[in-house]
Chains A and B, each alone.
Chain A
């Protein structure tokens, strides 16, 4: 019996997600999972993000449809949860703004007519967490981002695709890592 492999939850900063627009499928079949290939070479279907819930609003007319914003040190993750994300809808409705939250979710893409591609997160689960979890995520995401950049420099599997689409300059993403990690340094 072939068990379908569960998609790994990738770690990346909001700034990188905002600049990611290359979606692709590995197979032509309609049910094949869609992946987002990011400028540092992360291949994402599911993500795990931790940040501050800064806004939430139920914008649904007939049914619940929640829009929320989660900020990390580099930018904002847009979150949309509707009737197929019932667990997340229930959680969003009760979490206070602002709070540190952890979100596990799938990526969603909007192709507005003629407009830019916009990526958001469709949450599977949202939980309130403590500052220690948030700090660990910021550090872990820095490590994962640097690891990806190192792999790109050595010529990993998606290098050609990443270079063709986004170019070869990874320095802006190294700068983003430094900016994010510096926020963890305690003022003394």
Chain B
């Protein structure tokens, strides 16, 4: 890329934030750094961006009403400079000394990974606190977006709390397994933890309350996802109510008959499942059985096959 193109790219980056700078002015600065100061192009670009970001910040703080905050769910391009209003949802252990902080930020529309670089020397973000963060850069890796906090970023704590919504995901596939711990279970009346043999890990021996759940495995032939159905959704998925499940378990003198009956009506069938993603589970909020295949689906596959011949 030549300096003219690079200048245009930088100009576009700023104009996305509503800051107008002429490409020729940027190009002039780049030329000066590269030709006169013998700075590598990459470093020159970085320097120019930092210069205008600082300038922009001063302008922004002079007219604070004009700051436009992006919604997390709308983040869909790489290398874009944006502002966000977020709450810290999770902080993880950085795996490199060059990273000061890494974790998850959220707003009403969803959550996104963030990285704060050590060399940016930014204030530390606290778990659960809300902030306005200006001048962060969007990044993408393997199709997932994240935001990067850098030297030009400005962090302001907020008095009000930003509500965090979790983006729902929809996946489809076959239930190929139902794991142990599914079916009829008992929960601690104090803390809702699953009680194993009358014992809660926190509260010791307790009289558990019956509940239903399914820890299923959904497989689409490429990816497997652990899916968790709560009582209401388990009842709808299997057609078996909690009362019926208790009755069956009592008749058989065995709680496992419930999970076995649930396997018999779900494994091998196709579903479309919606839910909230956690690191381990998709917490199901809704599901439907996959619809019957349509004539259009059949002709589309035949056309695709013909094309390959």
Contact = CB atoms under 8 A, between A and B. Distances in A.
Contact of B269 (A102, A140, A149, A186): A102
Given A11-B221, A178-B302, A127 B264 contact: yes
Interface stretch (A18-26, A30-38, A59-67, A129-137): A129-137
A111 B77 CA distance: 53
B6 interface: no
Contact of A50 (B221, B224, B268, B302): B268
Contacts of B64: none
A6 B85 CA distance: 38
A101 B268 CA distance: 8
A50 B293 CA distance: 15
B2 interface: no
Contacts of A8: 219, 221-224
A9 B304 contact: no
B228 to A, nearest CB: 15
A107 interface: no
A146 B305 contact: yes
For the complex, would chain B's binding face be called helix, strand, loop or mixed by DSSP majority?
mixed
Interface string B245-258: 00000000000000
Interface string A142-160: 1110100110010000000
B217 interface: yes
Contacts of B301: 139, 142-143, 146, 177, 181
B269 A177 contact: no
Interface in A87-137: 101-104, 124-125, 127, 129, 132-133, 135-136
Contacts of A182: 302
A2 interface: no
B124 interface: no
Contacts of A171: 309
Contacts of B267: 102, 104, 125, 127
A125 B269 contact: no
Given A102-B267, A136-B270, A184-B298, A6 B217 contact: yes
A9 B292 contact: no
A48 B305 contact: no
B177 interface: yes
A44 to B, nearest CB: 10
Nearest to A176: B305
B270 A133 contact: yes
Interface centre among B224, B267, B308 (most CB of A within 10 A): B308
A149 B174 contact: no
A136 B290 CA distance: 9
B176 interface: yes
Q: Please name the 5 residue pairs, one residue from A and one from B, whose CB atoms are nearest each other, closest first.
A: A102-B268, A127-B268, A11-B221, A104-B176, A9-B219
26 contacts: A6-B224, A8-B222, A9-B221, A9-B224, A50-B268, A102-B174, A103-B268, A104-B177, A125-B176, A125-B263, A129-B268, A129-B269, A132-B293, A133-B268, A135-B292, A136-B293, A139-B301, A142-B301, A142-B305, A143-B304, A153-B308, A171-B309, A174-B309, A181-B305, A184-B293, A184-B298
